A and B are shown apart, each in its own frame.
Chain A
Amino acid sequence: MNKLYFLFFVVIGLSSCRKEATRWNSDWSAPLLNDTLTLMNWVNDSTLNVDNSGYYDVNLQRELFRFDLNSIVGIPDTTLQNNFSIPSSINIPPGYSFVNQTEERDLQLNPVELTKIHLKKGQISILLKNPYPTKVICSIQLPGLTKNGVVVSSTIEVPAGSLINPTSGTKIIDLAGSQMDLTGLSGGSNNKLLSNITVTSDPNGPSFTSTIAYVTQVYATIKNVELEYAKGFFGQQTIVDTVEADVELLKKWIDGTIDLPSLNLNLKLINGIKAMGRINLKELTTTKSNGTTTTLTSSQINIPQNVNSAAGSWSSLIPSETNFIFQTNNSNLQDFLENAGSKIKLVYEFVLNPLGNISGSWNEFFPNSVVKLDLTLTMPLGFALDNFTITDTFKLDLTNYQKQLDQARTGEMIIDLKNSFPIEGGLMLKFIDEYNQTLVALSEFKTIKSCLFGSTSSSSGTQIQETQIVWQFTEEDFKKLSSTKNIIVIGKFNTPDPATMMNSSVWLSEKCFLGCKLRLNLNYESKYE
């Protein structure tokens, strides 16, 4: 009988046993992308302008370098030490000032010789060490330093110490907004910091005997100083530097050529300090990722040019401008830009006060003073492209979707495009894994035709060419896609003339757009265990 029951349970158990996953296929369609690309976002962004005829002009404005004036004419963090002692043995009663001394210290700013400065920020930290067996009161006055018209001063009380273990007291004075006269006690010097220090014994403390062994030490540390005004002689200084820039857009250019129209490149040195200078653009080069370097050649390269001093002062300050204008008729600018690589390098030399102190120590800089080199590139946005190929990589992590991709059977990505650019483009996609191995390549270049081959829209008056691109995905493709970490998009561009089918120059108008609608059709196997 027991066997009978056992058999019964086995049969029941087996009859209800799930042997495989439940699966079925379904068809899904969904839009993925719907957007219109224009160049309008770059207008008024120091990149593009629209001219009176409605065509784009390149108006690229970039700052190549800007001097930090505080690194040329500034006060580095400095500590000054003063020691005070009484040469003979003396009894010090309560409330007695036994140190009262005015000091003049040089800030060691050579070759800069400053006579007056305004501080935007900064601090003086005073540290006093007291060896006496009573509390002392230290009064510090900085006669050349005024804030809101009042001489800066401070008081520190330091508890009783001993010869072996002097006690310390500190005080931090904020210098922001203060002005400093650095002409010293004589009134005709420079870089001089004046201080007056008085040390008084505790009025309520005991008397004590001071000997020569008792030394009061005072440390004044000037730090974090940033000037907003300086006057004096800023020294004859030579700055040689190299500015390198990576242009991401040009990194993506991997093949083909571009033919540019007439263009202007203007490099402008703006000098906002009242001091003469001299600028020498020693070398301007562009280097492609394959190592090919093109050098800008011109009579203005590696030739020093004098830089005039700024005029006026404070709110009436007028900076001087020194221009380097490169055009196709005075340089190889066209060749330089048509071969532009992603790495652009400028080597320059700037000399401050090249003729020495000829201003009677009357160099000045003001809060609004700058010394910088600006680049301006202007040209109509027109070009001829011949298999001009660019590539870009976008992050697309599909590794979390392995299960879903494994269940996809077939799919097609359909892109409907409306192109009103006079440019013909080909698109290719590569899905790559974390080791940059290609998993799936939609390798056939799908062509987006130039609008010049399309028809004229009655509403906008622009020529529009409509194109549909279809990419098919197999089940194997979907399985491979589950390791995707990045997607590489490769675009190949030409500017064919419908009459000759030869690539020729085209100009882009503000009405140009590329409308893109991407949708996905997917046959998917739903599955659960």
Chain B
Amino acid sequence: MKVNMNKIILFLLCLGFFSAFGQHSLPIQMDTSIYKYEVIGTGILDYGGTSIKNEISQKLLYGGFIDSEMKYRSLNSHKLQNRVGVDASGEIEFRDYTAKIFNQDKYGYFVRGGYYNYTSAAYSKDVFNLVFNGNTSYLGDTAKLSGSQANEFSFQKIGFGFIDKKSKSNIGINYYNISSIADAYIRSGNLIMDSTASNVQLDMGGQFRYADGKKFNKGWGIGLDADFRIPVRWVNESQAFFQVQLKNIGFMSVKNVTQYTANATYDFSGFKFSQFIGDSSMSISNSEDLLDSLGVEKRTKNQISLLPGFIQIGKVVDYSSNKIVQSYFGVRLHTSLNYTPLIYAGGEVKIYKWMRVGVQGSYGGFSNFRLGFYSQYDFGKYHVGIGSEDLIGAFSNKAYGESIHFRLTRLW
């Protein structure tokens, strides 16, 4: 009873500590124990960037007013090119280890469902300044917009696959519903303003696409999840496990994607009276009229593209090992161009048999260097993990991201 109370108090302390800052992180472990069934629920809310400070990111995510001081501080930390991204997802999975697949005791099966949202952008400093401060600060100057791009995907999946009962290696196929998709890029772009705002010149080569309509189903996709655990000989004759994980690797097809393409230099000094007055006048109530007058080409088409998936390769912690301290490290690659390869390395400490904590460092992804932390608690048949891949962001409004990862497992 005393042990149980300690567990609860310690758990609540950790929970209270991290939830106050809204972020945490998780380990990936190798567990060769044999179970009958397993239900795993995971949730991730992770955003980060190279330049936008948390005081703005938090307002963007949770609401509130972004004042000029906040914008000034973030603008100053921007470089020529910058990145930002959000990963918000949740998954639930049921594993059946009692089944005999292919008439072999070795394999079980799993079913999996989940919701995912990926939003990311790579952008110039001037794009940030334009969005948050407007164009008035560019009077008599040029805003450089080239090389900026952004995308947003929301999709749901349901999948089925097979799992090695001991190593937990698994592979499965998923069907995806695409509920939202949008992307934009500015291949070349300069906004040139004269000193009195009497003339605006926009050199623009870019595109904006989005799936139009209010339907929940805007497209579909087929993809693969796989998780291979590979034992290797490690230092001091010990054994370690490496993981090769693929998630949401596949393609999607989306119907009725509206595409606006601009590829010209627009020199605008103002409309003419005749454009407002008379039979051939332009209706400013109609944005299509306005885009037409600017020579922006509009098309509607079907689009086939890659799902926003990722591949992670690295050493994982052995859950059944007697070691107090274990290392883990690896590399993570996203299919998004805005996500640079992320490398991470960390160590896990088994404090009690029922409690583990880990600390890690990472570099890359949507952000630069991040320090992560996680804790895991075993309550009999329940395992709870909570952590963050960005510990600094939990303490500081001046950091560049926040991260909370949560996992709950029920074993039978």
Asked, given contacts A8-B15, A19-B62, A394-B276, whether A29 binds B193 with beta carbons under 8 Å apart, the answer is yes
B137 and A34 within 8 A (CB): no
* CB-based nearest A residue for B135: A28
Residues of B within 8 A of A34 (CB): 198, 269-272
How far is B283's CA from A398's CA once the two chains are assembled, in angstroms? 10
Residues of B within 8 A of A11 (CB): 15-16, 19
> Could you tell me which residues of chain B, from 304 to 344, have a CB within 8 Å of some CB in chain A?
none
Q: Which of B66, B133, B273 has a CB less than 8 Å from the CB of A37?
A: B273
Residues of B within 8 A of A31 (CB): 197-200, 268-270
A16 and B45 within 8 A (CB): yes
| A1 proximal to B (CB < 8 A) | yes
> Could you tell me which residues of chain B, from 42 to 74, have a CB within 8 Å of some CB in chain A?
45, 59-68, 71
* CB-based nearest B residue for A31: B270
| B196 proximal to A (CB < 8 A) | yes
Residues of B within 8 A of A1 (CB): 379, 382
| A20 proximal to B (CB < 8 A) | yes
Binary contact readout B261-303 vs A (1 if CB under 8 angstroms, 0 otherwise): 0000000111111001100000111000000000000000000
How far is B16's CA from A8's CA once the two chains are assembled, in angstroms? 9
A-B contact count (CB 8 A): 112
Within the complex, what minimum Cβ distance (angstroms) separates A356 from chain B? 50
| A15 proximal to B (CB < 8 A) | yes
* CB-based nearest A residue for B287: A400
A521 and B197 within 8 A (CB): yes
A21 and B63 within 8 A (CB): yes
| B231 proximal to A (CB < 8 A) | no
Grouping DSSP codes into helix (H, G, I), strand (E, B) and loop, the B interface class, with mixed when no group exceeds half, is mixed
| A150 proximal to B (CB < 8 A) | no
Q: Which of A19, A24, A416 has a CB less than 8 Å from the CB of B71?
A: A24
Q: Which of B8, B134, B272 has a CB less than 8 Å from the CB of A28?
A: B134
How far is B19's CA from A17's CA once the two chains are assembled, in angstroms? 12
Residues of A within 8 A of B132 (CB): 24, 26
A33 and B134 within 8 A (CB): no
Binary contact readout A12-42 vs B (1 if CB under 8 angstroms, 0 otherwise): 1001111111111111111111110100000
Asked, given contacts A15-B22, A19-B62, whether A519 binds B273 with beta carbons under 8 Å apart, the answer is no
Asked, given contacts A24-B65, A27-B134, A521-B136, whether A33 binds B273 with beta carbons under 8 Å apart, the answer is yes
Residues of B within 8 A of A32 (CB): 270-271
How far is B35's CA from A14's CA once the two chains are assembled, in angstroms? 34
Asked, given contacts A1-B379, A11-B15, A27-B134, whether A20 binds B270 with beta carbons under 8 Å apart, the answer is no
* CB-based nearest B residue for A41: B274
The total of chain A residues at the interface (CB under 8 A) is: 42
Grouping DSSP codes into helix (H, G, I), strand (E, B) and loop, the A interface class, with mixed when no group exceeds half, is strand
| B406 proximal to A (CB < 8 A) | yes
| A268 proximal to B (CB < 8 A) | no
Residues of A within 8 A of B20 (CB): 15
Q: Which of B19, B59, B139, B268 has a CB less than 8 Å from the CB of A22?
A: B59
B136 and A29 within 8 A (CB): yes
How far is B64's CA from A31's CA once the two chains are assembled, in angstroms? 31
Within the complex, what minimum Cβ distance (angstroms) separates A414 from chain B? 8
B198 and A400 within 8 A (CB): no
Within the complex, what minimum Cβ distance (angstroms) separates A440 from chain B? 17
Residues of B within 8 A of A50 (CB): none
Residue from the set A35, A397, A400 with the largest chain B CB neighbour count within 10 Å = A35
Residues of B within 8 A of A400 (CB): 285
Asked, given contacts A26-B133, A517-B198, whether A397 binds B62 with beta carbons under 8 Å apart, the answer is no
Residues of A within 8 A of B199 (CB): 31
Asked, given contacts A31-B270, A35-B272, whether A519 binds B197 with beta carbons under 8 Å apart, the answer is yes
How far is B248's CA from A177's CA once the two chains are assembled, in angstroms? 80
* CB-based nearest B residue for A396: B284
How far is B61's CA from A15's CA once the two chains are assembled, in angstroms? 11
Q: Which of A22, A27, A401, A518 has a CB less than 8 Å from the CB of B60?
A: A22
Within the complex, what minimum Cβ distance (angstroms) separates B17 from chain A? 11
Chain A residues packing against B (C-beta within 8 Å): 1, 4-5, 8, 11-12, 15-35, 37, 394, 396-401, 416, 517-519, 521, 524, 526
Beyond contacts A12-B404, A18-B62, A26-B134: 18 other A-B pairs, Cβ-Cβ < 8 A, are A8-B15, A8-B384, A18-B61, A21-B63, A24-B59, A24-B66, A25-B68, A28-B136, A29-B134, A30-B197, A31-B198, A32-B271, A33-B270, A34-B198, A37-B273, A397-B283, A517-B198, A517-B270
**Which 6 A-B pairs have CB atoms at the shortest separation, nearest pair first?**
A34-B270, A26-B134, A29-B197, A27-B136, A24-B66, A20-B63
